């Protein structure tokens, strides 16, 4: 096996997820080389910290992500390194460019893998309800790896591999980066709340949030949150969204109501100190991260719990 | 302007999922199907371009007979025509096989703009759109939450982590993979549904499109060997009993955590 790890720069530093790729590469086994796009100094840092022989693509046109430039750089590094397996994190950069690179290489593509055993990759399907084991039979394979899947490897003291500038002729860039905009929290800061009561698509319609979810949050002196479909449907503004594209929260108590537990929601709340889940589906993945669960109809349980909490407060 | 929308039919989000006989996918008999949630947003985005001016919206889908239902719904919402690639030879295709077949449809249609969903709700692969864009030699953008026509291209917003956004200028023709929530999706009106009955659905086979060698299990580079429930972690303790007993259990825990 010859592996190419595509590291990613975020806000002037190598992402943690890139060191997780080194762990994933170690699990597959084989010769590791790396590619760092956009910053030669960070390429040497990655080479020193486990990236092995590292290619740097430091053309100024690659300072920000753009699909044509990044795809060209990765393809050139695959060619230069002779890698048969390409690893990239399943981040907004990775999910955008990796399938395109796979198609260009006529490679097998494995998306969002979180484990690998004996050449088989494990990935979640059906929004977390099932796992699939997949195998690539192609000469080349591109794998996008779920951030957080494996603990990062950081070989600080290894001495490190050499850094080479990648010979690269950039194509015309048909998608051009203009700017990034940070999210606007809009005044709802869930990070300070001790208790968060979140409702999901199972709550069913917008009126039920003020009727069922908000009263429990208030009775507990906490804040209300939501999963993405609730926000997508316009039931609540974006500030309430918990998850990978919303807020990451770590309250003392998180109560997930009518939320199935897709990975993008879990990354936003699994660091909570204690998690209670209320869901009518006993197989909902949320029960695998919760400590305490109720399998039942939220419209029966939640109002009764709200009354009991209110009564207990006196 | 001509717009192609790629639309997949997937098991209904609330369908009960049982693993099939050979353990490689779910049992499809007896469950309801619906249009992939992300694709409804993609179709709506295309229909808004049409509402704002001149555009022909063509929907394309690969899948068995049941898919014609999804295409009828899309036509009822306002799409002009549909192409249905329906061929048993497609069974076992991987994402690249699906992308090859969609590319063949796109080459016949020559769209200025291709809209897809970001991800399918069954396979969760997010693979087909960038592959399709490569095969069509078009630029693409994924997780798009806003599109705006500007000069000879589009100005789009891509969603990053934590709600941050990336603004990108992209040339036409291009492929846009839409993130959920980009718009509020319309329902098919009664009038729309009636009109849809007269709109054409062109049925195609892999041979018609010249992709027979590129699709199906034989051409697939990636295959599912096994599907199974996720490993049971430290599963939650499940409270049982009457509602009163359950509520007492929850209240006890909340007190124990010092939150009451
Ligand atoms: C790039 C990307 C970013 C994303 N970012 C986020 C994010 O930041 N946050 C996020 O949440 N999602 C995010 N998602 C979406 C995510 O994949 C899921 O689609 C979403 O989390 C599902 O929300 P849900 O659990 O509310 O809905 P569903 O998955 O539809 O679950 C609804 C649940 O309600 C239960 N239910 C229904 N009725 C009742 C009842 N009466 N009583 C009790 N239970 C009931 C059902 O059993 C079901 O489990 C993202 C996806 C992508 C691709
Ligand atoms: N069988 C199909 N027919 C039409 N479009 C599809 C099909 N499969 C995937 N797509 C498109 O590709 C997007 C991403 O799907 P996937 O790569 O399977 O997650 C979907 O949202 C659709 O727009």
Packing angle, helices B95-109 and A92-105, rounded to 10: 80
If one counts the domains in chain B, the total is 1
* A293/chain B closest Cα distance in angstroms: 5
pLDDT tens track for A121-162: 999 999 999 999 999 999 999 999 999 999 998 776 566 789
**Would you state the structure tokens that stand for residue A302, as one six-digit string?**
């939640």
The B residues from 17 to 76 touching A (CB cutoff 8 Å) are 17, 19, 26, 37
pLDDT digits (tens, 9 = 90+) for A234-281: 999 999 999 999 999 999 999 999 999 999 999 999 999 999 999 999
Two tokens, residue A271: 């660091």
- Show me where the domains of chain A are located: 2-165, 190-313
Q: How far apart are the C-alpha atoms of A99 and B120, rounded to whole Å?
A: 14
Q: What angle do CA A200, A261, A142 make, to 5 degrees?
A: 125
DSSP category for residue A272: S
Give the three-class secondary structure for B130. Answer: helix
Residues within 6 Å of ligand 2 by CB: B 6-8, 36, 38-39, 42, 60-63, 95, 98, 116-117, 119-120, 123, 125-129
Are the C-beta atoms of residues A142 and A136 closer than 8 Å to each other? no
What secondary structure does DSSP assign to B201-226, as a single string? EEEE-TTTTT-TTTSHHHH-SEEEEE
Cβ distance A141 to A85 under 8 Å? Answer: yes
pLDDT exceeds cutoff 90 at A185: no
Residue B230 inside a domain? The answer is: no
Structural domain harbouring B105: 2-209
Residue B132: pLDDT band by 50, 70, 90 thresholds?
Answer: very high
* Cα(A111) to centroid(ligand 2), Å: 14
| pLDDT tens-digit map of A190-208 | 988 999 999 999 999 999 9
CATH code, domain carrying B54: 3.40.50.620
- Which chain A residue shows the shortest CA-CA distance from B96? A103
Task: Name the percent of chain B lying above pLDDT 70.
Answer: 100
Which range (A228-232, B12-16, B229-233) has the least confidence? B229-233
Q: What is the mean pLDDT of residues B64-68?
A: 97
Per CATH, the number for A2-165 is 3.40.50.620
On the question of pLDDT at A18 being above 70, the answer is yes
Ligand nearest the Cα of residue A261 is: 1
Name the class of domain A190-313: alpha beta
Confidence band of B95 (pLDDT split at 50, 70, 90): very high
Name beta bridge partners: B178: B117, B144
DSSP letter assigned to residue A192: G
Q: Is residue B217 part of a domain?
A: no
pLDDT at residue A259 in the model: 98
Q: Report the C-alpha gap between B130 and B151 in whole angstroms.
A: 24
B256 in a domain, yes or no?
Answer: no
Q: Is B216 left (phi over 0), alpha (psi -120 to 50) or beta?
A: left
Ligand 1: residue whose CA is nearest its atom 36: A202
Q: Would you say residue B232 has pLDDT above 90?
A: no
């Amino acid at each position: 096996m010859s592996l190419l790890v595509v590291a990613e720069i975020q806000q002037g530093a190598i992402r943690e997820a890139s060191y997780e790729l080194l762990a994933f590469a170690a699990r597959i086994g084989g010769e590791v080389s790396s590619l760092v796009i956009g910053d030669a100094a960070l390429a040497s840092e990655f080479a020193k910290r486990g990236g092995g022989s590292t290619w740097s693509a430091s053309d100024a046109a690659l300072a920000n992500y753009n699909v044509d430039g990044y795809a060209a750089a990765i393809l050139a590094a695959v060619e230069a390194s002779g890698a048969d397996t390409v690893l990239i994190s399943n981040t907004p950069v990775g999910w955008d460019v990796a399938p395109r690179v796979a198609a260009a290489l006529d490679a097998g593509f494995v998306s969002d893998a979180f484990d690998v055993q004996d050449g088989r990759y494990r990935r979640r399907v059906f929004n977390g309800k099932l796992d699939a084991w997949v195998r690539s039979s192609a000469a080349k394979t591109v794998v996008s790896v779920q951030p957080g899947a494996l603990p990062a490897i950081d070989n600080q003291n290894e001495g490190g591999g050499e850094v080479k500038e990648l010979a690269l002729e950039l194509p015309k860039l048909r998608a051009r980066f203009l700017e990034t905009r940070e999210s606007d929290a809009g005044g709802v800061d869930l990070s300070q709340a001790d208790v968060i009561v979140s409702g999901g698509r199972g709550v069913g319609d917008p009126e039920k949030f003020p009727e069922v979810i908000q009263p429990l949050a208030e009775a507990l002196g906490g804040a209300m949150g939501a999963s993405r479909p609730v926000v997508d449907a316009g039931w609540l503004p974006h500030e309430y969204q918990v998850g990978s594209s919303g807020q990451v929260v770590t309250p003392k108590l998180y109560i997930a109501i009518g939320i199935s537990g897709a990975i993008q929601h879990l990354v936003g709340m699994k660091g909570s100190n204690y998690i209670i889940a209320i869901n009518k589906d006993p197989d909902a993945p949320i029960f695998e991260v919760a400590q305490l669960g109720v399998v039942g109809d939220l419209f029966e349980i939640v109002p009764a719990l709200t009354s009991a909490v209110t009564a207990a407060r006196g | 302007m001509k717009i192609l929308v790629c639309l997949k039919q997937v098991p209904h989000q609330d369908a009960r999922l049982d693993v099939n006989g050979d353990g490689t996918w779910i049992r499809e008999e007896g469950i309801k199907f619906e249009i992939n949630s992300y694709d409804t947003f993609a179709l709506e985005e295309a229909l808004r371009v049409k509402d704002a001016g001149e555009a022909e919206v063509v929907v394309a889908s690969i899948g068995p007979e049941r898919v014609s239902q999804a295409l009828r719904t899309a036509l009822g919402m306002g799409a002009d025509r549909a192409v249905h690639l329906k061929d048993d030879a497609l069974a076992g295709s991987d994402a690249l096989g699906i992308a090859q077949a969609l590319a063949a449809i796109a080459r016949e249609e020559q769209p200025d703009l291709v809209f897809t969903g970001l991800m399918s709700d069954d396979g969760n692969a997010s693979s087909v759109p960038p592959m399709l864009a490569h095969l069509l030699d078009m630029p693409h953008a994924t997780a798009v939450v806003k599109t705006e026509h500007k000069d000879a291209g589009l100005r789009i917003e891509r969603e990053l982590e934590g709600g941050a956004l990336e603004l990108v200028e992209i040339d036409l023709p291009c492929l846009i993979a839409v993130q959920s929530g980009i718009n509020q999706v319309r329902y098919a009106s009664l009038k729309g549904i009636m009109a849809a009955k007269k709109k054409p659905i062109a049925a195609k086979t892999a041979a018609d499109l010249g992709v027979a060698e590129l699709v199906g299990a034989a051409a697939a580079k990636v295959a599912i060997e096994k599907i199974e429930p996720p490993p049971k972690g430290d599963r939650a303790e499940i409270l049982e009993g009457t509602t009163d007993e359950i509520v007492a259990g929850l209240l006890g825990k909340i007190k124990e955590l010092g939150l009451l």
